Amino acid sequence: HVQLVESGGGSVQAGRSLRLSCIASGDIESSDCMGWFRQAPGKEREGVAAIDSDGSSSYADSVKGRFTISKDNAKNTVYLQMNSLKPEDTAMYYCAARSAYGCSLAPGSFYYWGQGTQVTVS
């Protein structure tokens, strides 16, 4: 089993930056795909960014060029650097681990989820 704990959310003005962190514990492996997802009120959960074991990453079109996913295997931590934030980025952000179908942005493919951290952009 894998436990995930997110942190770093908050309320910021448009144009500012935030960095989210996700610490993994338990049976996490360096080969696991890790992802960030978000869900706004009344909307479905959507993929934001994912990073594979070799460091390759993918992003939703809406965040390309603004968000960067990275990981520190020694610390079992995944980060999401969010720059130039927009009001439409407001959502609960979730960290996820271990995809069943390759390292994609499909929420349904991930086994483990954190509790989320709220990001509000005004």
Using one digit for the tens of pLDDT, what is the confidence trace for 38-69? Answer: 999 999 999 999 999 999 999 999 999 999 99
Contact partners, residue 11, CB within 8 Å, separation at least 6: 120, 121, 122
Q: What strand order describes the sheet that includes 67-72?
A: 2-7, 18-26, 77-82, 67-72
- What is the spatial distance between Cα 64 and Cα 49, in angstroms, rounded to a whole number? 9
pLDDT value, residue 94? 98
- The whole-angstrom separation of Cα 101 and Cα 109 is 6
- The answer to whether the CB of 96 falls within 8 A of the CB of 108 is no
Cβ atoms within 10 Å, residue 21? 17
Q: How many angstroms separate the CA atoms of 40 and 35, rounded?
A: 17
Q: What is the pLDDT of residues 75-108, one digit of tens each?
A: 999 999 999 999 999 999 999 999 888 898 998 8
